[in-house]
Amino acid sequence: MKSTLLAKKIASLTLTKKANDVVIMDLRKITPMTDFFVICSADSDVQIRAIADAVEEGLEVKGLTPWHREAGSVNWILLDYVDVVLHVFHKTTRSFYNLERLWGDADIARLADRPASKRQRTTRKTRAKRKVASSTSSPP
């Protein structure tokens, strides 16, 4: 899988567990270390683990396993897929490491806090409910 697609897939998987402030940092022009960082925040230690587990499980289905998994503390987990590195931080810990500032020359893309597919399904459901409601409330 190309690194750009992998970064987007990882970011999307983080959103399935309600990750906050998800960013994809393009490091290809800055360092040979990796192509992308995906960084997100969580509200609790349990959510940090859930996000990391969701990414691992979602990519295992595609035959991808992390080259390295590191839990620096209960406030941070790193999943290294070589070309893409995921950082899941507790919301209070993220500002301490401040990777966006440290790698400030990178192009940064911010993602919405909800995956697009969920928004589309909700929109379709809402339209269907409105359609049913309007057809039942109007006289024959």
Residue 122's pLDDT band, with cuts at 50, 70 and 90, is very low
| This prediction's pTM | 0.78
Mean pLDDT of the chain, nearest integer: 84
Residues 6 or more apart in contact with residue 20 via CB below 8 angstroms: 40, 41, 42, 43, 91, 113
Q: Give one DSSP letter per residue of 102-120, joined into a string.
A: HTTTSEEEEPPSS-HHHHH
Residues 6 or more apart in contact with residue 66 via CB below 8 angstroms: 56, 59, 79, 80, 81
- Judge whether residue 19 has pLDDT over 50: yes
Tell me, what's the pLDDT at 114?
Answer: 57
- Judge whether residue 15 has pLDDT over 50: yes
Name all domains of the chain by residue range, CATH numbers in brackets: 3-137 (3.30.460.10)
Span 111-132, average pLDDT: 52
